[in-house]
Structure 1
Amino acid sequence: MSTPRLFSLSRKEGWNQYVNTPPRQRPEKLTLAQIAALSEDAREDYNNLRHDWHANFGIIQTPQLAAIHGELDQIVASNQQDGDRIRSAAVIDALPGLGKTTIANQYGRTYDRQQRRRLGPVTDEGHERVPVFRVGLTSNTTLRTLNRMICEFYGHPARDRANAAALASHALDCVLSCETRLGIIDDIHFIDLDRKDGLAVSNHLKWLANELPVTFIYVGVGLAERRFFADGLTGKNTILAQTARRWTRLGVDPFHLTSDQGRQHWRKLIKATERQLVLAEHRPGMLTDLAGYLFERTSGHIGSYFTLLMRGCYRAIRTETEALNRDVLDQVRLDEASEQARQQLAAALTRGTLSTETEAAS
């Protein structure tokens, strides 16, 4: 019987589990007759195994993911300066539901594995090697809490009782001792520049970039719209303008149907995910035939797309339909943004102003 792998990426132990746990094994695809022949307990275990698989079958190599990983490779490789040099940072900036956190985490996992393979699990000084740290900001992050989050990732014993300055020193010691080279800070859109605490955190990000021999990958929502990268800022935002000079913004776009290439990418995504389904009655091409419908339901947002499939697979198993079709998927309620956009997209697909067919196919 499969159980979820419960861990937090904001702790070293959880991150290590994420990095080192081998991929799940795809369950065997049984026929309807074979499923019917199972005992009640065996059928429950088999269905639970499939639910776990459909929720966690792995990351699809989308064009968006591949493009940003290529940019990150370039930024990280060019940041191999000595400790007295300032390193540039990458900022993955996109709307919700486009996979930006997944892209950052996946890159961090690959980088972590590469560093451990090349350099070993222990530093020359005998400390545990921790190539990557990852933390996520909250809506009330202060200077002290940011430092504490970094210390908590490493499990530093003084993380709960030191002041902000001491925690910053401890964080620096952890990074240097463990020879960390990549730092992922998620949800930086929670930094409120209209608050004193927010400006202090923004200042501290600059200090971290100056003092730590680390390439930072920041992740946030709608940062460009909030003028995180605005040039010519003055007054209390001057520090942000200075920091933004060192940040390379990497945007993540939703899938679209406005070009032949966009339509090809959308259909390739559907084909790639369809191969992962473990449903007795599902046949290749059933999802591809619903390409327009799937876009209508999800607006081309990969997060909404995978939610639709995961919930649809659960319903297909529970109702014994054992296939993803429109009737099954129509019973799945999605996020409100997708539901609100659905009617307009459906009209465009009906009128033919949007199409999933490529020019070669048509």
Structure 2
Amino acid sequence: MDGVEPFEGDDRQYSPTRLPGWLQEVFGPDRVRPPQYTRAQLADLAPRDLRVHNDCREVWHANIGPIETPQLLALQDDLTELVESNRHDGDKTKPAALLDAYPGLGKSTAVRDYGRKFFREQVKLRGETTPSGDRRVPVIYIALSGNTQIRGLNAAICRFYGLPVTGDADTLAERAVDAVLSMKTAVFIIDDIHFLAGSNSNSVRMANQLKYLANVFPVTLIYVGVGVQQRGILREGFSGRQTELAQFGLRTTPLTLLPFQVEDELGRQQWQTLLKTIEKMLVLADKYPGMLARDLSDYLYARSTGHFASLMALINRGCLRAIRSGHERLDEDLMNRVKNDAAAEESRKELEAEIKAGLRTSRPASDPPNRRKSA
């Protein structure tokens, strides 16, 4: 390296579905925002210092958030109420939560953020170790893969704790329960629950497997998935012919996370607040007030369709292009060269046509018309 000290960067590669990675997510230090330089200051940097600065900006933009949107805060309030009221003794089944919403809305991010906060609060209140001397792990996070069966689910739980995954489903369950009790785990976050027993399995089979979880593990279960309720898992079974569905429905609180909408003034104000919040976090030399919230508001809404993940992917990629090209700001010309997810792009033309025709806008009535910043 010719005497030059290597620069590792702030990339944090870990899996939250393993305890060491989850602990890194829970207790990892907050990222430090890179300094905001002018173009002149960027020009004064030595070549290596500029590469380091740009590297820091790129990883910063890729990891903005979680942002406390009204949707996220409302969801976390509901989760707090459910979890903190579930102080039942071990002989009682704790009610569960099912967060069922479309992809790309930030479900996993919002729930993991809640789990992170709950984990930290419990450790702060009760200590890092249990009375028996084990590490305290108030929350675990696992994500399922296609066609997961009960044994695979129990294996995922054991794998999170770093336990052996040999044996049948019952052996794995016993092993996992011992870990739950010794580490004082109170909450399981189970992501991609729609993969349980395969996407085409019937609702009774899924209900039976989720009922098994509730009966075996003395924790609050937070399920996160897509299209789970469409199977009738919470609505059917109350006639008495399908008791499995009835029992699961009575024990489960349905929650959702909605996309941003601009059909009314409140929705438009919330969209503007989100863009202003993101804008403040960006580190671009030619960033200016209103770059997102005024000049790109309708454009970003049309391209993201109000889905948080699509919006953040657009902005992250736009910032990367702005840095590497030397453009140092976001505008339509640059953003038109940025690719986004297929679902957002499919809905883009219809939204753009409505905006152009004056049938829809993302800007509140109090906002002035667009005043584009000249190049």
TM-score under structure 2 length normalisation: 0.91
| Superposed displacement of residue 204, structure 1 | 3.3
Structure 2 residues not aligned, in runs of 5+: 1-6, 369-375
Matched residues in 2 for 1:21 and 1:320: separation? 32
Per the alignment, in what secondary structure is the counterpart of residue 288 of structure 1? Answer: coil
Q: Of 13, 24, 28, which aligns to 2:20?
A: 13
Match of 1:242 in 2: 247
Match of 1:218 in 2: 223
| Superposed displacement of residue 193, structure 1 | 7.1
Q: Of 324, 334, 339, which aligns to 1:333?
A: 339
Residues 282 and 323, structure 1, Cα contact 8 Å, conserved in 2 = yes
CA RMSD of aligned residues (A): 1.9
Match of 1:47 in 2: 54
Q: Report runs of 4+ in structure 1 exceeding 4 Å deviation.
A: 193-196, 198-202, 233-238
Q: Of 23, 35, 38, which aligns to 1:28?
A: 35
- Within 5 Å, give how 1:71-86 maps onto structure 2: 71-86=78-93
| Superposed displacement of residue 296, structure 1 | 0.7
Matched residues in 2 for 1:305 and 1:229: separation? 31
| Superposed displacement of residue 237, structure 1 | 6.1
Per the alignment, in what secondary structure is the counterpart of residue 365 of structure 2? Answer: coil
Q: Of 354, 359, 362, which aligns to 2:365?
A: 359
Q: Deviations over 1:38-91 (max 9, x none)?
A: 222221111111000001132110011000001011101211111111111111
Match of 1:87 in 2: 94
Equivalenced residues, count:
359
Q: Which amino acid aligns with 1:326?
A: E
| Superposed displacement of residue 9, structure 1 | 0.6
TM-score under structure 1 length normalisation: 0.94
| Superposed displacement of residue 303, structure 1 | 0.4
Residues 90 and 247, structure 1, Cα contact 8 Å, conserved in 2 = yes
Matched residues in 2 for 1:199 and 1:151: separation? 26
Q: Which amino acid aligns with 1:152?
A: R
Per the alignment, in what secondary structure is the counterpart of residue 92 of structure 1? Answer: strand
Q: Which amino acid aligns with 2:270?
A: H
- Within 5 Å, give how 1:82-121 maps onto structure 2: 82-121=89-128
1:145 aligns with 2:152: yes
Residues 193 and 237, structure 1, Cα contact 8 Å, conserved in 2 = no
Matched residues in 1 for 2:192 and 2:155: separation? 16
- Within 5 Å, give how 1:180-329 maps onto structure 2: 180-191=185-196, 192=198, 195=201, 202-232=207-237, 238-289=243-294, 290-329=296-335
Residues 29 and 278, structure 1, Cα contact 8 Å, conserved in 2 = yes
Matched residues in 1 for 2:145 and 2:243: separation? 23
Per the alignment, in what secondary structure is the counterpart of residue 224 of structure 2? Answer: strand
1:347 aligns with 2:362: no
Matched residues in 1 for 2:176 and 2:206: separation? 15
Structure 1 residues not aligned, in runs of 5+: none
21-30 or 224-233, which deviates more: 224-233
| Superposed displacement of residue 200, structure 1 | 5.9
Residues 143 and 200, structure 1, Cα contact 8 Å, conserved in 2 = no
Matched residues in 1 for 2:160 and 2:207: separation? 20
Residues 285 and 329, structure 2, Cα contact 8 Å, conserved in 1 = yes
Residues 66 and 110, structure 2, Cα contact 8 Å, conserved in 1 = no
| Superposed displacement of residue 232, structure 1 | 2.6
Per the alignment, in what secondary structure is the counterpart of residue 313 of structure 1? Answer: helix
